[in-house]
Structure 1
Amino acid sequence: MRSDLARQYGQDRLPRYTSYPTAPHFAPAIGEADYRRWLVSIPVRQPASIYLHVPFCRSMCWYCGCHTSVTKRDDPIAIYASGLRSEAHLIAETIGQRLPISHIHFGGGTPTIMTPETFADLVGALRYSYFVEPDAEIAVEIDPRTLTEPMAEALGFCGVNRASLGVQSFDPVVQRAINRLQSFEQTAKSVERLRRAGVGRLNFDLLYGLPFQTVESCLDTVARCVELRPDRFSVFGYAHIPSFKKHQLKIDESTLPDSIERHLQSETIAEALIDAGYVRIGFDHFALPGDNLAVAKREGRLRRNFQGYTDDSAETLIGLGASAIGRTPQGFVQNVVATRDYLACITEDRLPTAKGYAFTEDDRFRADIIERIMCDMAVDLPQIARFHGRNPASAVIDHSRIESLIADGVVTMSDDRLSVTNGAEFLVRSVASAFDAHLARSAATHSRAV
């Protein structure tokens, strides 16, 4: 393990590059009128994806970086779901065609906080306003602590075929420190319910770098998870930014591992998953060899979007819900964050666009470079430059960083073809950042590189 590199580069504040440019560069200059123009120009019969954000949970996990709030009542959730249905219809009307949909992702928060009936009505509204392709992937994020048997059955009935279960850690000491008590038995029961309902493709989300977390507890969590044999794992580093999420102040910073320990935890988890038969996808995903992600990686079709690594090739992502981010070929848009403001816009038949970003040709050039680095751990700069009519010599923004990464053996460069060396995948964000023309204006808002 390259602890020396973790020490050298680990404190850098860098994006996860699920988009380029990243969200801190979105601005109110892009609004509803721009989004409507972009929607109208979507090519006929070109498949798109939908993301729905459900910003409610039954309790707050102190590590959470998502836009969500706690509610014990069902009424606010039902009202919000009605808003989602209306927004989906409003966007479909604006587009002017029944757009084909290849991927649907319910995120949160806890999407399964909805009642089964409310969830079924929402999926029905999507199928009415859009043409959901027969083989579309319909994925839902799930908190195993609150998944009921009726809800699992509703997911299967509605055609959900992938579920992401939050696990984070099975260490009770860590769980108490993050306000998320979740037993292995609860998780196993949810897996059983989902598979019985026909939701057969499962992902587990793990975290490292949590308070009191150790290499040993990470290994124990992986061993328990592997018993349940999910198809995929997402392994994220905890981002401690209490200035952004005030509830993170409840976590004692002195209990957090440093960059060296975080790196050891991350790579120990990776090695354990690879030993268990999973293929490493990028720097933070793992999948069984027959999973769609592993196949996409082998075939050079791996992509990266706001949900992480994906085989979704759609150029249009329709974001529904408060704080949801969408993408068209022209740029990004993000909805208002506050649920009350979101519902007020929908009530007035207005798209709740709060800000966005219009791509420049340079952005498109750099987005392609960064995506290939993040997905393939390599990039052919001359090839991408030819596609964009650019000089490959103009690609690198931070020459000193690239020179340092080469000197430290993190990357190799030959004829403007860059490759991340084996064992240095954990620094791929550092590599990608050398091509980021916007980073200097937003570094403080990002999480640590390791």
Structure 2
Amino acid sequence: MDAALLSAYDRPVPRYTSYPTAAQFGTAVGPAQHASWLADLAGASAALYLHVPFCRRLCWYCACHTMAMRSESTLEAYAEALSREILKVARTAPGLVIDAIQWGGGTPGQIGPARLRRIGRRAATLFDRRPQAEVSFEIDPRYCGPELAAAVAELGVTRVSLGVQDFDPSVQQAINRLQSFDDTAAAIDRLRAAGIRRLNIDLVYGLPHQTLDSLTKTIGQALQLAPDRFAVFGYAHVPWMKPHQRLIDTAVLPDLQLRAEMARLVADRLTAAGYVRVGLDHYAVREDPLAVAMANSSLQRNFQGYVADGSRWVVGVGASAISSLPLGFSQNVVEARDYISAVVGGAFATVRGVALTADDRLRAEIIQHLMCQNCVDLAECCRRFDVDPEVFVGGIEQLPSLEENGLIESRGLKLAVTEKGRPLVRFVCAAFDRYYKAGSGRHASGI
């Protein structure tokens, strides 16, 4: 991208893991609303997301809802609260069938193998699970011993995502995450020996002290581990939301031009190695379900990123977990102690969310197409919602400039994101976001 284009799009923009985004969530949605929306899923199917907001130690780059936690009493109380919320979900939506299970965090393994098994048994007892359901689990390779690998396998996990971020020691020092290649390789060997064959590696570009040369070396080392997928994210520097990020020296962060070159480097290196580019930031081997979903236009995006499980809805349990339900989004309280208190008291821990309007649903469908397929038939989407496409498109003021800047091409009411526009697809989506205000500081940079 040239300097003029970088300057034109040097502003915060949502990641569009949902629409409306979490920035539009409000306190009008609480436990009663969440329970009512959950009840609509009785006899239906959904993915189950379990959030564990704890890590052994805090990485300074992280923007997730997590904290360093080793207190056994807190870990035990949290595991019990998770089990109770799972039971409450099952009673509220009887007959719910699980399409997929995702364990995220933080680091789910931090609550320990015995507690993981207990929670897993509770979910298995209460819900029917589709035979082909994928069960995914996030792991910090530094703390993946034989006992955790065995427990994860016993949970029926079919895919593990391993956080790497970067292998360069100076970068690791700057983000407070020291992790050797050998430790990462040993964790992968343990997981494969336990029978888990599908492995993902997470990398991050735009980190402090990171260079094109160091990123090239990291990618080369990661390729030696032969994962099925890569998720490669641009570092989101949001110290106003995550105060611990103030420990990162902004003077050693790559500038916009270098970030853009890093994104291009990642795409070039991984596609040259045989991985298929999936959506904005994922890469998968050709036979991987994510690549297959991309090819057959069934790829979806939700708060866990890109998914191929085919489930339209997500039931989130745990502190800060978000549920995507037929009538809206609902989110649990962020603080673990408040979550435990609410659930142990017999209530759902929902504190905010948003009810969907017909207009929200239309725009959400358009944004899904753009984020997942890099194209959209606006006329077809509008017809599905009984909206005049000419009137609707006439109200999207940014389309001419997006086309003039080469981010999109249009044929009538069919839009396609160009190769030039793929790294900036979030800005194309923002054109259809009626809530978005350019320059809003809540979101991270879109470059």
The TM-score range, normalised by the shorter chain, is over 0.9
Q: Which residue of 1 aligns with 2:331?
A: 334
Alignment partners' CA distance in 2, 1:55 and 1:398: 41
Q: Which residue of 2 aligns with 1:20?
A: 19
Structure 1 gap segments, 5+ residues each: none
Superposition pairs of residues 200-215 of structure 1, within 5 angstroms: 200-215=197-212
Same amino acid, percent of matched pairs: 43
Secondary structure at the residue paired with 1:211? coil
Q: Which residue of 2 aligns with 1:38?
A: 37
Q: Which residue of 2 aligns with 1:47?
A: 45
Secondary structure at the residue paired with 2:141? coil
Alpha-carbon shift at residue 316 of structure 1 (Å): 2.2
Q: Which residue of 1 aligns with 2:86?
A: 88
| Cα distance change, pair 187–355 in 1 and its aligned pair in 2 (3 A) | same
| Cα distance change, pair 370–148 in 1 and its aligned pair in 2 (3 A) | same
Alpha-carbon shift at residue 421 of structure 1 (Å): 1.1
Counterpart of 1:379, as a letter, is V
Q: Is the CA contact (8 Å cut-off) linking 1:110 and 1:143 kept in structure 2? A: yes
Q: Which residue of 1 aligns with 2:281?
A: 284
Secondary structure at the residue paired with 1:145? helix
Q: Is the CA contact (8 Å cut-off) linking 1:10 and 1:259 kept in structure 2? A: no
Alignment partners' CA distance in 2, 1:126 and 1:133: 13
Alignment partners' CA distance in 1, 2:136 and 2:358: 33
Alignment partners' CA distance in 2, 1:346 and 1:101: 22
Alignment partners' CA distance in 2, 1:397 and 1:245: 39
Q: Which residue of 1 aligns with 2:173?
A: 176
Q: Is the CA contact (8 Å cut-off) linking 1:18 and 1:306 kept in structure 2? A: yes
1:159 to 132, 151, 156: 156
Q: Is the CA contact (8 Å cut-off) linking 2:320 and 2:334 kept in structure 1? A: yes
1:433 to 430, 434, 444: 430
Alignment partners' CA distance in 2, 1:107 and 1:5: 39
Q: Is the CA contact (8 Å cut-off) linking 1:396 and 1:434 kept in structure 2? A: no
Deviations 1:257-296 (A, max 9, x none): 1111001011101110000000000111000000000000
Q: Is the CA contact (8 Å cut-off) linking 1:397 and 1:435 kept in structure 2? A: no
Alignment partners' CA distance in 1, 2:385 and 2:4: 33
Q: Determine whether 1:403 maps to 2:400.
A: yes
Q: Which residue of 2 aligns with 1:77?
A: 75
| Cα distance change, pair 128–172 in 1 and its aligned pair in 2 (3 A) | same
Counterpart of 1:88, as a letter, is I
Superposition pairs of residues 19-418 of structure 1, within 5 angstroms: 19-44=18-43, 46-95=44-93, 97-396=94-393, 399-418=396-415
Counterpart of 2:177, as a letter, is R
Q: Is the CA contact (8 Å cut-off) linking 2:51 and 2:321 kept in structure 1? A: yes
Alignment partners' CA distance in 1, 2:333 and 2:396: 37
Deviations 1:222-260 (A, max 9, x none): 100111110001110111111110000000111111111
Alignment partners' CA distance in 1, 2:10 and 2:161: 29
Instruction: Tell me how many residue pairs correspond in the alignment.
Output: 447
Alpha-carbon shift at residue 113 of structure 1 (Å): 1.1
Alignment partners' CA distance in 1, 2:278 and 2:141: 25
Secondary structure at the residue paired with 2:280? coil
Normalised by the size of structure 2, how large is the TM-score?
Answer: 0.97
Alpha-carbon shift at residue 361 of structure 1 (Å): 0.1
Q: Which residue of 2 aligns with 1:8?
A: 7
Q: Is the CA contact (8 Å cut-off) linking 2:153 and 2:195 kept in structure 1? A: yes
Alignment partners' CA distance in 1, 2:270 and 2:438: 37
Alignment partners' CA distance in 2, 1:441 and 1:124: 46
Alpha-carbon shift at residue 395 of structure 1 (Å): 3.8
Question: Which stretch of structure 1 is more off in the superposition, 35-44 or 291-300?
Answer: 35-44
| Cα distance change, pair 397–222 in 1 and its aligned pair in 2 (3 A) | farther
Q: Is the CA contact (8 Å cut-off) linking 1:397 and 1:434 kept in structure 2? A: no
Secondary structure at the residue paired with 2:51? strand
Secondary structure at the residue paired with 1:447? coil
Q: Is the CA contact (8 Å cut-off) linking 1:6 and 1:259 kept in structure 2? A: no
| Cα distance change, pair 441–230 in 1 and its aligned pair in 2 (3 A) | same
Alignment partners' CA distance in 2, 1:406 and 1:437: 19
Counterpart of 1:241, as a letter, is V
Q: CA RMSD in A?
A: 1.4
Structure 2 gap segments, 5+ residues each: none
Q: Is the CA contact (8 Å cut-off) linking 2:95 and 2:127 kept in structure 1? A: yes
Secondary structure at the residue paired with 1:448? coil
Alignment partners' CA distance in 1, 2:400 and 2:85: 48
Secondary structure at the residue paired with 1:247? helix
Runs of 4+ in structure 1 over 3 Å off: 3-6, 394-400
Alignment partners' CA distance in 1, 2:35 and 2:164: 39
Alignment partners' CA distance in 1, 2:2 and 2:139: 34
Deviations 1:62-82 (A, max 9, x none): 001011111233331122011
